[in-house]
A and B are shown apart, each in its own frame.
Chain A
C-alpha cells in the first residue's frame, strides 16, 4: 500500500501549520516570539524593553499572566512555562511578545535586554558539582537507577581477565525539517471560552495536559489539534507543550489568534536534544570471551530540568548490557542536572548511547583476547531461555545467532575483511575496515508504562459504512496513517479506501498514548484490531463477527435505524499475559518484547584528513511482521543515516552553555552525497501481541550504526576511538598516535 498522504506531500499540497490560510480562526493572526535568557544561570534583575518601539502596540506576556501554576506538566513539573525571575539555562523562555508585523517584531525582540545576575552554572555533567553549583538535592542528581543480577564483585575477585573502558556520546539535534510551529486562538464553547491550539506535535495529550495544568482549565475548555508534522524524532515529544502554552498565553492576552513559528537558529538553540552520555564498563571474561560479570555505570547529562530524563535513563540502563547473556550484572545509572538546555526524547531514548558503549566494548574485549569480534558475540549472544540483566527470560523464537550468521553471509563479511586488508597494504593513504554491531531494542513503554498509559482507541462506523480510526497517535512521516489504514482494512476485510484515519484532535479522539517508543503499530495497531473486532461482534449480534461487505451493510443499517447516532467501539490496552516488571527493583520483563538487529559497516578512512566515509552499510532487523516494506525500509534507512550523522559529524558546539553552531551550515547532518545506499534486510517473526504481528521499527535502526562504524574505523586504522561524534578533529590525534 502506498503512503496515503504521499502524493499530497510530493506535490506540495500538504498544509503544515505555517501554510494555513489566515482565514477562519486564523484571521487577524499575530506572530508570537519568545524573549530568552542570555546566560546559563542566574537571577533576573530586569527586563528592559528597547527604546524606539511603541510597546503599547505589542502584546507582552510575563509569568504574571499565567492563570494556573507556572509549570510545564510532565514527570516532575519543575520546568516553568516562563522563567519566574530565575533562569537555569541559556535561551530559557522569559517572556513573550506578539505583533502582526513579523519584521517589526524581530527588531523589537532584538531590542529587549534581559538583565541577569549570573550564578555559577554546571556545564560539564561528568565532573562532580562544586557546592556553589548545587541546584537539586545535595548532588544535582535528577534520578538514580540500579539493576542488579548476581554478584559482580565476587566474580571480579577471581576473574581471569578484566577489561575496562570509558565511552562517551555527544548531544544530538533532531533537525526535523519543519521547524516547530504552533497557533492558538479562543473559541466560544458551551462551558465558556475554549483555548484551541493547533500545530506540529507528536503527542497531543501531552500538550493537552500541559495546557490544562498551567491555564487551570479542564479538557472541555482546551482543545489540541495536530497539524501535519514535518518530522519529530522525539524532538516534538515534550517541547511542543511549551510552545503551545506560549501561543495560548499570547492568544488569551491578545484575544486574537497567535502563531509561533521558530526559525531554524531558534529551534536549534532552544529546544531539546539527545542526552550526552558517559558510560564506564568493567567486564570479567574468560579466555574464550565469555562474559562472566558486567559492571556498568551510565551517566547522562539531563540538562536544566527533569523533563523526560528519568525515563531516558531507565531505557538506557536496561539496554546497557547489550543482547548478551551474563549471570552477574550490575548497572548503575544517574542523570545529572546541569545548566544546559533540557535534554529530551530522541529516537532510541537512551538506548543508542548505552548500546554504543557495550558494542564498542565487546570489540575491545575481543581485541584484548586476540579473538575476532564475531567470536565474542557468538559466545555471548542471548539464546531463547536465557535472561537479560533484569532477569527477563527471552523467548519468542528469534534466533539471534542465526541473525548474525545471516548478516555475515549476506554481506560476504569474510571477503570484505580480506579485501580491506589487501587494500590497506597497497594504498598510500586510504584505509578500509569492517565493523559489526549486534543490538536489541525494547518495544513499547518500559516496564509497566503501557499499563499506566492505559491507551484507548475508538473505531467509528460512519453512516456510509466506512470505518474511521480515532486515535491520538500522530503521523509525522513515519507512516502511522498508512499503517493504521492497512491494519484496519485487514481487520475488517475492507478496501483501504473505506478506512479513514482521523487527524488527532482531543475533542474527537481518545488518548491512545504518545507517539513514541516504537509503540504505535505494535500497541495502538493492536487496539485498532480489537476495536474493530468488538464493533464487528456488536453488530453481529452474538453470531460470528461480521467482516467485509456484511460489516459495511450492518453499519449502514445501524445508522438507518439510529439516525444521527454515533456508532463506536473502544479498545483499551491490556498487557500481554505473563509480563511482570518490578519497577522498584528493576527485575522482570522490562518490555513485552524486543526487536533485534545486526549492523555491518564498511568504511574508508582518509589518513590525509582523518575523514571517515561509510562505503557500505547493511542492517538486518527482526521487527516482527513487516506490514509495509517501503515504509519499514524507509524507517531503517532514515534512522541509519541519522545514526551515521550522530557517529561521525553531528557535534554540538557550546559557548557559555548555549549552542554555538545553531545553524544547518555549522551543525553537520549528512547530505545524499555523504552516505551510501543503506541495505535493509528483514527477518520476519510475527509477534502475536503486536498490531499485524509487528514489533517496533522506529528506533532500532538508531542503535547499531555508531558502534559498527567505530568498530570498522578501529579495524581500518588500528586506533581505538571511544567517543562520538568521531569528527576528523577527534580522530586525527588518534591517528597521529597510532604507529
Chain B
C-alpha cells in the first residue's frame, strides 16, 4: 500500500479487506521523488499527485499530468494518492492512467527476482487484471521526453471535484514525424480498463473528414464498448466521447472541421 486512498475506503465495513495482508511502502523514502534523465521522466512509486502539481518543469513538459492531477479528488486525495497506486488499483475510471498512456509511459515492475519494464499499454489484461505478478511492485513509471504539439485531457464527472470519471479522454499528438502515427487517443470509463483507441487514432491519421461528432462513432465503436452502471449510461458515454473528440480536435486536426 502507498497512500491508501483506494485501500481504506469504507474500511471499517469491509472485513474481507481487513483480512488480507499488505506491504506498506510509505516509509521507503527512496520511492518518493521523481527524477529526470536526458530522455525520460521517472515517477517514483510514492510520487503523489501533489508532488507533480508543485513542479513547474513537469507542467511545462507534460501538461496533462497537471491537468489530471488537478482533477483527482481534491487536495486531501492529491496529497496522498500516488500515480503508481492509480495504475495498480486498475480502475477503468482512473485519471492518472489515461494521461500516462497518452505519453507512452512504461512501468517498472520489481520483485526479489529483479526488474522488468513493460509499456503501460500492455499492462492491463482485463478488468482490474494486469501482467503484474503478486510478488512484484511498481517501483517506477517512465515517461519518454518528446515534443508534443497538441495535448488535451478531459474528465467528465458528476461534479467538478471529488468525482469519479464517467467518461474521459486524453489525446496527444507528437511533433515531428518520428512515429508512423503521431496521435495517441486514450479513453477512460468506457471499457473494462483505461485503454488506447487504435481505431480512433487510425481514423485521425487517415485524412477522413470529420464534420459532426457522430462521424467518430464508427471508430469509437471499433475501440470501446461502454456499459450502463450506477454512474452513467452506455449511450451517454458514447455520445460524450464523440462530442469531446470533435470539439477538442476541431481546428487542431486539419481533418476535423
Chain A interface residues (CB < 8 Å from chain B):
102-103, 106-107, 110, 263, 265, 428-429, 607-611, 649, 653, 660-661, 663, 665-666, 668, 670-671, 673-674, 727-729, 732-733, 736
Q: Which residue from B15, B159, B235, B236 sits with its C-beta under 8 Å from A671?
A: B159
Interface-central residue, B10, B164, B240, by most chain A CB under 10 Å = B240
Smallest CB-CB separation from B236: which chain A residue?
A729
Q: Which residue from B161, B164, B247 sits with its C-beta under 8 Å from A674?
A: B161
Residues of B within 8 A of A107 (CB): 15
Residues of A within 8 A of B230 (CB): 653, 660-661, 666
In angstroms, Cα B242 to Cα A610, docked, is: 13
How does the 8 Å CB contact mask read for B1-25 relative to A, with 1 for contact and 0 for none?
0000000011011010010000000
- In order of increasing CB-CB distance, the 3 nearest A-B pairs are A608-B243, A668-B158, A673-B160
Smallest CB-CB separation from B250: which chain A residue?
A428
Contacts A649-B158, A661-B230 given; does A608 touch B240 at CB 8 Å: yes
* Subset of 9 A-B contacts with CB under 8 Å: A103-B15, A106-B12, A265-B13, A609-B240, A609-B243, A671-B74, A671-B162, A674-B161, A732-B236
Please determine whether A728 and B236 come into contact, CB atoms closer than 8 angstroms. Answer: yes
Smallest CB-CB separation from A731: which chain B residue?
B236
Chain B interface residues (CB < 8 Å from chain A):
9-10, 12-13, 15, 18, 74, 156, 158-164, 230-233, 235-236, 239-240, 243-244, 247, 250
Smallest CB-CB separation from A263: which chain B residue?
B13
Please determine whether A103 and B12 come into contact, CB atoms closer than 8 angstroms. Answer: yes
Residues of B within 8 A of A663 (CB): 10
Please determine whether A670 and B159 come into contact, CB atoms closer than 8 angstroms. Answer: yes
13 further A-B pairs in the complex, CB-CB below 8 A; given A263-B13, A610-B240: A102-B12, A106-B13, A106-B15, A649-B159, A663-B10, A665-B9, A665-B162, A666-B230, A666-B231, A673-B160, A728-B156, A728-B236, A733-B235
Please determine whether A665 and B164 come into contact, CB atoms closer than 8 angstroms. Answer: yes
In angstroms, Cα B10 to Cα A341, docked, is: 23
Interface-central residue, B159, B160, B243, by most chain A CB under 10 Å = B159
Residues of A within 8 A of B162 (CB): 665, 671
Smallest CB-CB separation from B159: which chain A residue?
A674
In angstroms, Cα B230 to Cα A478, docked, is: 33
Contacts A666-B230, A729-B236 given; does A429 touch B12 at CB 8 Å: no
Smallest CB-CB separation from A735: which chain B residue?
B239
For the complex formed, measure the closest distance between the CB of B34 and the CB atoms of chain A, giving whole angstroms.
27
Please determine whether A110 and B15 come into contact, CB atoms closer than 8 angstroms. Answer: yes
In angstroms, Cα B181 to Cα A319, docked, is: 62
In angstroms, Cα B160 to Cα A674, docked, is: 6
Please determine whether B13 and A607 come into contact, CB atoms closer than 8 angstroms. Answer: no
Please determine whether B156 and A611 come into contact, CB atoms closer than 8 angstroms. Answer: yes
Please determine whether B243 and A673 come into contact, CB atoms closer than 8 angstroms. Answer: no
Please determine whether B247 and A429 come into contact, CB atoms closer than 8 angstroms. Answer: yes
In angstroms, Cα B157 to Cα A666, docked, is: 11
| A-B residue pair count with CB separations less than 8 angstroms | 69
Residues of A within 8 A of B236 (CB): 610, 728-729, 732
For the complex formed, measure the closest distance between the CB of B145 and the CB atoms of chain A, giving whole angstroms.
31
Q: Which residue from B18, B161, B244 sits with its C-beta under 8 Å from A608?
A: B244
Contacts A106-B15, A265-B10, A666-B230 given; does A671 touch B161 at CB 8 Å: yes
For the complex formed, measure the closest distance between the CB of A59 and the CB atoms of chain B, giving whole angstroms.
20
Interface-central residue, A102, A107, A608, by most chain B CB under 10 Å = A608
Smallest CB-CB separation from B246: which chain A residue?
A608
Smallest CB-CB separation from B237: which chain A residue?
A729
Please determine whether A673 and B161 come into contact, CB atoms closer than 8 angstroms. Answer: yes
In angstroms, Cα B233 to Cα A698, docked, is: 36
Contacts A653-B230, A729-B232 given; does A736 touch B239 at CB 8 Å: yes
In angstroms, Cα B9 to Cα A607, docked, is: 34
In angstroms, Cα B68 to Cα A429, docked, is: 22
Interface-central residue, A668, A729, A733, by most chain B CB under 10 Å = A729
Please determine whether A729 and B243 come into contact, CB atoms closer than 8 angstroms. Answer: no
In angstroms, Cα B229 to Cα A660, docked, is: 11
For the complex formed, measure the closest distance between the CB of B97 and the CB atoms of chain A, giving whole angstroms.
19
In angstroms, Cα B243 to Cα A665, docked, is: 26
Residues of A within 8 A of B243 (CB): 429, 607-609
Please determine whether A609 and B244 come into contact, CB atoms closer than 8 angstroms. Answer: yes
Residues of B within 8 A of A102 (CB): 12
Residues of A within 8 A of B74 (CB): 671
In angstroms, Cα B160 to Cα A30, docked, is: 41
Residues of B within 8 A of A661 (CB): 230
Smallest CB-CB separation from A733: which chain B residue?
B235
In angstroms, Cα B250 to Cα A334, docked, is: 52
Residues of A within 8 A of B164 (CB): 665-666
Residues of B within 8 A of A673 (CB): 159-161
Residues of B within 8 A of A728 (CB): 156, 236, 240
Please determine whether A732 and B240 come into contact, CB atoms closer than 8 angstroms. Answer: yes
Residues of B within 8 A of A665 (CB): 9, 162, 164
In angstroms, Cα B233 to Cα A733, docked, is: 11
For the complex formed, measure the closest distance between the CB of A265 and the CB atoms of chain B, giving whole angstroms.
7
Contacts A428-B247, A671-B74 given; does A609 touch B232 at CB 8 Å: no
In angstroms, Cα B161 to Cα A428, docked, is: 25
For the complex formed, measure the closest distance between the CB of B133 and the CB atoms of chain A, giving whole angstroms.
30
For the complex formed, measure the closest distance between the CB of A346 and the CB atoms of chain B, giving whole angstroms.
21
Residues of A within 8 A of B233 (CB): 729
Residues of B within 8 A of A732 (CB): 235-236, 239-240
For the complex formed, measure the closest distance between the CB of B195 and the CB atoms of chain A, giving whole angstroms.
20
Contacts A608-B247, A671-B74, A671-B159 given; does A263 touch B12 at CB 8 Å: yes
For the complex formed, measure the closest distance between the CB of B241 and the CB atoms of chain A, giving whole angstroms.
10
In angstroms, Cα B235 to Cα A733, docked, is: 9
Residues of A within 8 A of B159 (CB): 649, 668, 670-671, 673-674
Smallest CB-CB separation from B251: which chain A residue?
A428
In angstroms, Cα B230 to Cα A48, docked, is: 31
Smallest CB-CB separation from B231: which chain A residue?
A666
Residues of A within 8 A of B163 (CB): 668
In angstroms, Cα B244 to Cα A607, docked, is: 9
Interface-central residue, A106, A110, A665, A733, by most chain B CB under 10 Å = A665
Residues of A within 8 A of B232 (CB): 729
In angstroms, Cα B166 to Cα A727, docked, is: 12
Smallest CB-CB separation from A654: which chain B residue?
B230
Smallest CB-CB separation from B248: which chain A residue?
A608
For the complex formed, measure the closest distance between the CB of B129 and the CB atoms of chain A, giving whole angstroms.
23
In angstroms, Cα B74 to Cα A110, docked, is: 32
In angstroms, Cα B235 to Cα A645, docked, is: 23
Residues of B within 8 A of A729 (CB): 232-233, 236
Residues of B within 8 A of A733 (CB): 235
Please determine whether B160 and A671 come into contact, CB atoms closer than 8 angstroms. Answer: yes
In angstroms, Cα B247 to Cα A429, docked, is: 8
In angstroms, Cα B162 to Cα A649, docked, is: 13
Smallest CB-CB separation from B9: which chain A residue?
A665
Residues of A within 8 A of B156 (CB): 609, 611, 728
In angstroms, Cα B235 to Cα A103, docked, is: 42
In angstroms, Cα B239 to Cα A729, docked, is: 10
For the complex formed, measure the closest distance between the CB of A269 and the CB atoms of chain B, giving whole angstroms.
12
In angstroms, Cα B247 to Cα A733, docked, is: 18
In angstroms, Cα B158 to Cα A665, docked, is: 10
Residues of A within 8 A of B15 (CB): 103, 106-107, 110
Residues of A within 8 A of B244 (CB): 608-609
Residues of A within 8 A of B240 (CB): 608-610, 728, 732
Residues of A within 8 A of B160 (CB): 671, 673-674
In angstroms, Cα B239 to Cα A608, docked, is: 8
In angstroms, Cα B105 to Cα A379, docked, is: 65
For the complex formed, measure the closest distance between the CB of B71 and the CB atoms of chain A, giving whole angstroms.
11
For the complex formed, measure the closest distance between the CB of B175 and the CB atoms of chain A, giving whole angstroms.
25
In angstroms, Cα B230 to Cα A102, docked, is: 30
In angstroms, Cα B218 to Cα A533, docked, is: 79
Residues of B within 8 A of A611 (CB): 156
Interface-central residue, B10, B18, B160, by most chain A CB under 10 Å = B160
In angstroms, Cα B240 to Cα A429, docked, is: 12
Smallest CB-CB separation from A613: which chain B residue?
B160
For the complex formed, measure the closest distance between the CB of B216 and the CB atoms of chain A, giving whole angstroms.
12
In angstroms, Cα B235 to Cα A221, docked, is: 60
